[in-house]
Chain A
Amino acid sequence: MPVEGGVVISFARMNRILALDVRNRRAHVQPGVINLDVSKHAAESDLFFAPDPSSQKISTIGGNIATNAGGPHCLSYGTTVNHVLGLEIVDEHGEVFTTDLDGPGYDLTAAMVGSEGTLGIVTSAWVRLLQLPETVRVWLAAFGDVDSASAAVSAIVAAGIVPTALEMMDAVITRAVEAAFHAGYPTDAAAVLLIENAGFADDMDACEAAVEAIAKDHGAISWRTAAGAVERDALWAGRKGAAGATGRIAPNYYTQDVCVPRSKLPQALRAVDAATTAHGIVVGNVFHAGDGNLHPLLMYDKRNLKQVAAVVESGNAILQAAIDLGGTISGEHGIGFEKREAMTQVYSTADLATMARVRDVFDPTRALNPEKIFPRGTRCPEVAPPADPTARSA
């Protein structure tokens, strides 16, 4: 959203897959290509694009690159930055330049990915594709309370098991999802874990036995293996449609996005509960538990200004709690305009000024996505944009 006026550039028409290089497992795509379309296109060649944000049916590769998007499967495959091999970028003067992950010199690809469009405008990308796994198994573990479920997650990771995806949903979410999609989630549990492992058949039984044992040790009240592709897909469709399903609970929701060390998950969820209960807000938790990446959905009605204020305060309390637990203020959604002031809570002035040096090089006049990421005002004068009015109007 343009916060200071200016020009909005849409990539809706730069939406072509320019090349699919099966032998070298890569694709050349324009920024407006829908994330899921890359995997659909590559599936014919037994390949897929690993980053899979829940929004993948509508989110674009350009947006994924700008925010370094994650998704459930980045637990084992890594976020978008792990899958970008090179970029073509237009700078603030309209000049085109390229980055190449395997070329010598600074890793400009990494600087661009996750920079929220503040360092340049991506006009095409070479992305890495992975071979589709031979075997996929999905398990569902239900728990009588949220604490046990989050303790189970920490224990799975601590045991050295990193499945392909390890997601958690609380009862508020599973009930909404079931009402909307009939995806197959139990509605009588306080929390469920959706666990997926992809790989080779030879390893699958051992992995299943180990995860099931940990879940049961932590008081799982039920354990189920998805019967086949149809059941798996239904569970995933429910998971990825969870945020939309909450429309049945309240007219609006606000998604917070924080990340904490994985062993701190139980404390973090207790903090979310405390922060929302204190303000009388209904919260639903649906998140990437294996990464410690929380997504509490705070339900409210935007016509009710008191509720809006309460959501803002709860959101800030959750941010603070994540920081106090050694975490960060965004795991995968980015900073944007909304969280830029909170940057000073995780970084020192020197840290932010160092980041700003990169911006000075690529966007000295702050023409690209102004007012994003960097805090303004008296709290951090060193990183405010240069006060050069002629440069800004250029």
Chain B
Amino acid sequence: MTALERAAPESVTELSDLVAGCDAVERKILIVGGNTLNGMGFPPERADLTIETRRIAGTASYEPSDLTLAVKCGTAIQALAASLAPHGQFVPFDAPRPQYATVGGTLSSGWLGPRRHLYGRPRDYVIGTTVVLADGTIARAGGMVVKNVAGYDMSRLYVGSFGTLGILAQANLKTLVAPQHSRVFLARLPEGTRSRAFAHVASLRIQPAAAFWIDGFDLTVDGDDGDDGRVLILLEGSAALLERATRDLRSALGGAGVPETRIVDAGARESFQRTVDAYVATLGERSVTYRIFAFPERSEAIVRSISERARHFGLRCEAIVDLMNGDVIARVSDADALALGAKIEAFDDGLHEIQPGAQVIASEHPHRQYLRVWGQVPASIERMRALKLRFDPHRTLNPGRFVGGI
């Protein structure tokens, strides 16, 4: 659901005036960035005005020698990467479809990518923010320094708040020095090798930047499935480190009974990105993609139980497991939207019996609104509701989109 009336303000003040105007007359606002994570969260309960952030874009300031940057939130992640790359820097946000995904959307959605076990979470790169609150207040927090304990950590609070506390207008970020080299490993897993491959990869001394076990996603993700699926592993670092990591990884996979591996150096980053893109890739209206945050030791059992349940319902299940963090991405689908619609609610009920935390992260199916898209309601929901009430008493911003219908 989107509002017929749309606005794309060009400045923070324009945004502030727009929001304050809506709030005063109780018009509801739907906030959109790059439209890449529309499948997350509940549909808005009402939207009188859609605000697009894409024109509040560009770098506000960049000091490569400080490893800090201030970026406006409508900036596409890819455009941000392009301004950092000439200085050999990056931010490890790992957003799907970075050519469209915005800085504001990636942060507001609380997106967690596969390299976070190595580089940390997007929230840990945010050193300052400018937000527009529901009443139009322009509030700043943090600054341009990498350590700052002056007052509450408002910036991290806004990250992952789904725009329901305020609209992110600018983010000040720490940047990282980009790794010198990237290398991708691809391997088909022969029958009976999955468990050992999971364990061996997880126990590598030089941790891969990302390691995925994949089953399905044939056209979107590189490689071909063996009987037990396939792995796609990203190594990052200096040439010397990669050389050792390559030996270790070959021997770890060999020890797991995986005879052949293929190395991709040119295009390794792109291969990794295609995997991240697959997290939210839908099959039109005939798929729903779930995400479960688990400990790595549990993820294999979780995939197995989800696949069994899908089979029980006659649904196809494709999966990506982030072996380093334990995340399970499961895309269930059927022949067409009608067939999926007949089963998906019952499947969703059953799934949440075994995985109460399962969240929907991508779907264009109309029945998405009936699913438990945020998983179980968190224990501190009443405090979260109180926070929402204090920041946005008229429920002007993204009403109903967030956890518990906040």
- Interface residues in chain A, defined as those with a beta carbon under 8 Å from any beta carbon in chain B: 23-24, 67-68, 70, 74, 78-79, 81-82, 97-100, 102-108, 110-111, 113-115, 119, 134, 154, 157-158, 160-162, 200, 202-203, 206, 259-263, 288, 291-293, 326-335, 339, 343, 346-348, 350-355, 357-362, 373
Contact = CB atoms under 8 A, between A and B. Distances in A.
Contacts of A119: 152
Interface string B94-122: 00000000000000001000000000110
Contact of A107 (B150, B159, B237): B159
B148 A328 contact: yes
11 contacts: A74-B147, A81-B156, A114-B153, A157-B65, A160-B88, A161-B177, A206-B240, A259-B147, A262-B65, A262-B146, A353-B139
B157 A107 contact: yes
A360 B378 CA distance: 21
Contact of B149 (A104, A106, A162, A334): A334
Interface string B221-248: 0000000000000000110110110000
Contact of A202 (B241, B297, B359): B241
B147 A99 contact: no
B151 interface: yes
Given A115-B152, A343-B150, A354-B137, A97 B297 contact: no
Contact of B147 (A104, A293, A335, A348): A293
A77 to B, nearest CB: 9
Nearest to B205: A134
B305 to A, nearest CB: 19
The 7 closest A-B pairs by CB, nearest first: A110-B156, A158-B65, A160-B177, A354-B139, A331-B147, A202-B240, A259-B145
Nearest to A342: B150
B138 interface: yes
B64 interface: yes
B241 A200 contact: yes
Nearest to A160: B177
Q: How extensive is the interface on chain B, given as a class?
A: 35 or more
Nearest to A111: B157
B187 interface: no
Given A24-B295, A67-B149, A102-B293, A358 B157 contact: yes
Interface string B116-138: 00001101100000000100011
A288 B144 contact: no
A160 B123 contact: no
Contacts of A154: 65
B68 interface: yes
B383 interface: yes
B240 A335 contact: no
Contact of A343 (B146, B151, B378, B390): B151
Given A259-B146, A292-B66, A332-B149, 10 more contacts: A98-B379, A134-B205, A206-B240, A328-B150, A343-B150, A353-B137, A355-B151, A358-B152, A358-B390, A361-B383
B63 A106 contact: no
A339 B277 CA distance: 46
A157 B66 contact: yes
